[in-house]
Amino acid sequence: MNAATDTAPDRANTDETEHSSLFAPRYRSLTIGAIALVALVAFEALAITTAMPTVARALDGLPLYALAFGGTLAASVIGMVAAGRWADARGPTAPLGHGIAWFAVGLIAAGLAPSMGWLIAGRVVQGFGGGLISVALYVVVGRVYPAQLRTKIFAAFAAAWVVPAVVGPAISGAIVEHAGWRWVFLSVPIAAALAAALVLPALRGLGPSSTAGSGLSNGEQSTRLLWALLTTASLLALHYGGQQRGWTAPLWLLPATAALALAASRLLPSGTLRAARGLPTVVTLRGIGSGAFFLTEAYIPLLLSQERALSPTWSGLVLTLGAVGWSYGAWFRGRTTDARKPQRFLQAGMAMVALGIGAVATLIAPHTPLALGIAGWILAGLGMGLFYPTLSVLMLELSPPERQGVNSSALHLGDAIYTATALAIGGSLFAALLSRSHTMAYVCGFAIAMSLALLGLLLAARVRPRV
């Protein structure tokens, strides 16, 4: 009796440790594998963003510059919807494995592309795989980790950008300068295979949720996939229409805009497009914040290389500092346990993003010190580090277990749809103004990003439903 009594506190301490550490024995291999996969995606995003100005010039595709980013996001919509359906019905292991495979295939196609059109096609395939990966990982978090570890794992995902952020852009710039831009794409699939070997074995036996049957019906899931296809087609048409001139432009833009609004209203939670309180605002806010940040990020290397004559390596280092700021913000957010006022983190994050974009925009003026823009981008990164984990935790908090896959999909869908739309609008106006004035082209893009950040600041108080 005494022995049994003596071991009881030990068991309690063991259970407490396992539920307070991401690297406890029961979570260790999964945590390492998932963080490695996020780090790989981070390296790809930052490396390709650094290389894209060189790629666009080499393939004579500067007018399609924004589509090289927006096409990837547009295609990710299909992957996200498919992953949410797949993960709820069968578990997250298969969509995650397929996502890694398609991600690698798209990178290989882009790396071997003979023209900008072929490169964009490869990026579209890559985006589909990335959509599968992003949602599957969120479902893994909801299915495996207890509530008290979710803020920490989402913060760890954001912080996983730190190593790629430090070495990715610099390595990408060096590869572009010394080996050629194609190797920026072709080197990543090797790392993707290693990441798959780390994460997939840790998910063996993780089947569907015990309440999966109470989620969407097969008919509803199939309909969502059709709406996702329409969303992707609409976003691509929006990008293409923005490159047209004269009377052909509205023939593309008006139907594409109407179709996108219709499809998005069917894919996202009811009330998302009007930012209704609760989960709809969480989804909207994620999309608005991402649109503001990534629209700005896409044009920073182009601005620095074309207007400031910086090399790809030095342009990439600016992105590095922004990503380091993001990682530090996520680390700080992960150490803060007060869950009563999430809107405070959201408001602070969006204010930082807005101020940071404003500082970056000053670099358009040729005599503005480069340090001002760099400091602004670090500040914007800090804001996103506060912003992203907070929304991820809120999404799971507002989702019953049988809806975690669908709502994780919705969160990423909002991210992709809003960001791709921002890139389409910003890219179209940039292309239209570029031949008249480089200054006005950049001013227009940054003004759109700043407006989105300020709108997000206003909406942050609406993430909690009325009691």
Q: Find the helix packing angle between 370-397 and 147-159, rounded to 10°.
A: 150
Which residue matches tokens 């990408």?
172
Please name the residues in contact with 312: beta carbons below 8 A apart, sequence gap of 6 or more.
50, 51, 53, 54, 172, 173, 176, 177, 301, 305
Please name the residues in contact with 382: beta carbons below 8 A apart, sequence gap of 6 or more.
325, 326, 328, 329, 349, 352
Which residue, among 194, 212, 4, 228, has the nearest Cα to 92 in the 3D structure?
212
Counting Cβ atoms within 10 Å, is residue 344 exposed (0-12), middle (13-18) or buried (19+)? middle
Q: Which two tokens stand for residue 443?
A: 């001013």
Q: What share of the chain is helix, strand, coil (3-state, %, to 5)?
A: 80, 0, 20
Please name the residues in contact with 335: beta carbons below 8 A apart, sequence gap of 6 or more.
none
CA geometry: angle 367, 371, 377, nearest 5 deg = 115
The 3 state secondary structure assigned to 313-356 is HHHHHHHHHHHHHHHHHHHHHHCCCCCCCHHHHHHHHHHHHHHH
CB–CB of 170/316 below 8 Å?
Answer: yes
Give the SS3 label for residue 465: coil
CB–CB of 150/393 below 8 Å?
Answer: yes
CB–CB of 278/406 below 8 Å?
Answer: no
Which residue matches tokens 């080996």?
179
Q: What is the pLDDT of residue 10?
A: 46
Q: Which two tokens stand for residue 91?
A: 């578990």
Q: What are phi and psi of 425, to 5 degrees?
A: -65, -50
Please name the residues in contact with 167: beta carbons below 8 A apart, sequence gap of 6 or more.
43
Q: Write down the CATH superfamily of domain 25-462.
A: MFS general substrate transporter like domains (1.20.1250.20)
Q: What would the DSSP string read from start to end of 122-168?
A: HHHHHHHHHHHHHHHHHHHHHHHS-HHHHHHHHHHHHHTTHHHHHHH
How far apart CA 181 and CA 218 sit, in angstroms, is 44
Which residue matches tokens 């259970």?
15
User: One-letter amino acid identity for 373?
Assistant: G
How far apart CA 29 and CA 259 sit, in angstroms, is 43
Q: What are phi and psi of 108, to 5 degrees?
A: -65, -45
The 3 state secondary structure assigned to 211-251 is CHHHCCCHHHHHHHHHHHHHHHHHHHHHHHHHCCCCCHHHH
Q: What are phi and psi of 57, to 5 degrees?
A: -70, -40
Domains of the chain, by residue range, sit at 25-462
How far apart CA 209 and CA 206 sit, in angstroms, is 9
Q: What is the pLDDT of residue 453?
A: 94
Q: Average pLDDT by consecutive 10-residue portion of the chain (467 residues)?
A: 47 51 74 80 76 86 79 84 78 86 92 90 91 83 77 76 68 81 86 79 68 54 84 86 76 89 88 87 92 90 84 78 84 70 86 95 90 94 89 81 72 84 84 80 91 93 74
Q: What would the DSSP string read from start to end of 38-65?
A: HHHHHHHHHHHHHHHHHHHHHTT-GGGH
- End-to-end CA distance of the chain, in Å? 49
Which residue matches tokens 């803020």?
151
Sign, Cα dihedral of 350, 463, 294, 404:
positive
Q: What is the pLDDT of residue 205?
A: 67
How far apart CA 135 and CA 30 sit, in angstroms, is 16
